[in-house]
């Protein structure tokens, strides 16, 4: 079982959905110091306040991961508050739509900046601080099954998350001699507030879209944030041992499988 009594965590995209679920899982496993980061200040402050009711020191910091300065300053501000940071979760993401035929340069840059560039430099600053302090550390990058290919309307998103998957492996290799582990999770179609907004805004989904979608899934449900959060807590803990550079497919659809 994960033990996070000594963990000091920074979670981007922590105001809702998977990022918030990971924070809840870390708290349940003993973590007492967490920084949540995101763009929605109202939701972030509400989430942090609710988590503080457990007695943990949880704070929200506004940060736009498309901004390198925001991404690095986030880590520095966490260091200033807690003295060290031992766990980083890159969960913030842009899921803007666009295909190979209609993605604009601005849309491409926005996806890459939020989903790859920002997380890269947050991870860099996190690792630099751990190396300088001489302590071990762990990071989890939240990727997607779409990084293997993705739907046609997710061209920029899929490419940016594929980049993050490579960043995961490359940094894991570079940092292992410093006892810094980096792993990633390729998450499938997930039931989150953000997904509900996307379905309504981009796909004209009916209010009961979730029930209809889940009825068609092999397991009768979409991926649930709490399930993924348990894996993230494990990967961020000593319970996962020497595991590093792994990309875990977390889905009910098997990559590479075909209809029979």
Residue 247 belongs to some domain of the structure: no
pLDDT tens figures, 102-124: 999 999 999 999 999 999 999 99
Residues 6 or more apart whose CB falls under 8 angstroms from that of 92 comprise 12, 13, 19, 37, 38, 39, 63, 65, 114, 118, 119
Hey, what are 71's tokens? 């991404």
In a domain, residue 176? The reply is yes
Same domain (yes/no): 66, 107: yes
Q: What is the mean pLDDT of the chain?
A: 96
pTM equals 0.95
Residue 163: inside a domain: yes
Please check whether residue 55 lies inside any domain of the structure: yes
Residue 241 φ/ψ, nearest 5 degrees: 60, -125
| Same domain (yes/no): 181, 206 | no
Question: Which CATH number goes with the domain that contains 115?
Answer: 3.40.50.720
Same domain, 96 and 210: no
* pLDDT tops 90 at residue 193: no
Residue 32 within a domain: yes
Ranges of H-type helices in the chain: 17-28, 41-52, 68-82, 105-112, 118-133, 155-175, 193-202, 209-215, 225-235
Q: Based on the fold, state whether residues 176 and 202 are members of the same structural domain.
A: no
- Angle subtended by helix axes 155-175 and 105-112, to nearest 10: 30
**Which pLDDT score, from 0 to 100, does residue 74 have?**
97
Phi-psi region of 200 (alpha: psi -120 to 50; beta: other; left: phi over 0): alpha
Q: Judge if 215 and 175 occupy the same domain.
A: no
User: Are residues 76 and 137 both part of a single domain?
Assistant: yes
pLDDT greater than 90 at residue 202: no
| Count: domains in the chain | 2
- Same domain, yes or no: 142 and 63: yes
| 173 and 231 assigned to the same domain | yes
Q: Is residue 250 part of a domain?
A: no
Secondary structure (3-state) at 96: coil
200 confidence band (pLDDT: 50, 70, 90): confident
Residues in Cβ contact with 49 at an 8 Å cutoff, skipping those fewer than 6 apart: none
Domain that holds residue 208: 190-222
CA dist 23 and 36 (Å) reads: 8
pLDDT for residue 33 is more than 90: yes
Same domain, 146 and 208: no
> Could you tell me if residue 1 is inside a domain?
no
- In this structure, the answer to whether residues 58 and 141 fall within a common structural domain is yes
- Percentage of the residues of the chain whose pLDDT score is greater than 70: 100
Residue 258: band (very low, low, confident or very high) from pLDDT cuts 50, 70, 90: confident
> Is the pLDDT reported for residue 259 higher than 90?
no
Report pLDDT for 210.
92
In the three-class reduction of DSSP (H, G, I as helix; E, B as strand; rest coil), residue 176 is classed as helix
**Both 30 and 42 in a single domain?**
yes
Cα–Cα distance measured from residue 163 to residue 73, given in angstroms and rounded to the nearest whole number: 22
**Would you state the pLDDT for residue 64?**
97
- pLDDT, residue 160, reads 98
User: Is 145 part of a structural domain of the chain?
Assistant: yes
- Same domain for 197 and 140: no
Q: What integer pLDDT is reported at residue 203 of this predicted model?
A: 82
Average pLDDT over residues 57-64: 98
Closest by CA position to 51, among listed 79, 27, 16: 27
End-to-end CA distance of the chain: 39
């Amino acid at each position: 079982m994960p033990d996070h009594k000594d963990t000091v965590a920074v979670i981007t995209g922590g105001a809702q959905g998977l990022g918030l679920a990971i924070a809840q899982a870390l708290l349940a496993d003993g973590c007492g110091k967490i920084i949540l980061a995101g763009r929605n200040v109202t939701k972030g402050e509400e989430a942090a306040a609710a988590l503080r009711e457990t007695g943990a020191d949880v704070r929200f910091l506004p940060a736009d991961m498309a901004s390198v300065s925001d991404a690095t300053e986030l880590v520095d501000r966490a260091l200033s508050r807690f003295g060290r940071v031992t766990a980083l979760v890159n969960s913030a993401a842009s899921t803007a739509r666009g295909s190979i035929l209609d993605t604009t340069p601005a849309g491409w840059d926005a996806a890459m900046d939020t989903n790859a560039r920002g997380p890269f430099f947050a991870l860099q600053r996190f690792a630099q601080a751990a190396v300088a302090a001489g302590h071990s550390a762990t990071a989890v990058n939240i990727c997607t099954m779409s990084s293997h290919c993705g739907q046609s309307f997710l061209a920029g998103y899929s490419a940016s998350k594929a980049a993050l998957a490579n960043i995961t492996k490359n940094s894991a290799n570079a940092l292992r001699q410093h006892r810094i582990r980096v792993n990633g999770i390729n998450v499938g179609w997930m039931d989150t507030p953000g997904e509900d907004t996307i379905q309504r805004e981009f796909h004209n989904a009916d209010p009961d879209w979730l029930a209809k979608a889940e009825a068609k899934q092999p397991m009768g449900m979409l991926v649930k944030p709490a399930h993924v959060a348990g894996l993230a807590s494990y990967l961020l803990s000593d319970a996962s041992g020497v595991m590093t550079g792994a990309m875990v497919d977390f889905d009910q659809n098997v990559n590479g499988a075909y209809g029979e």
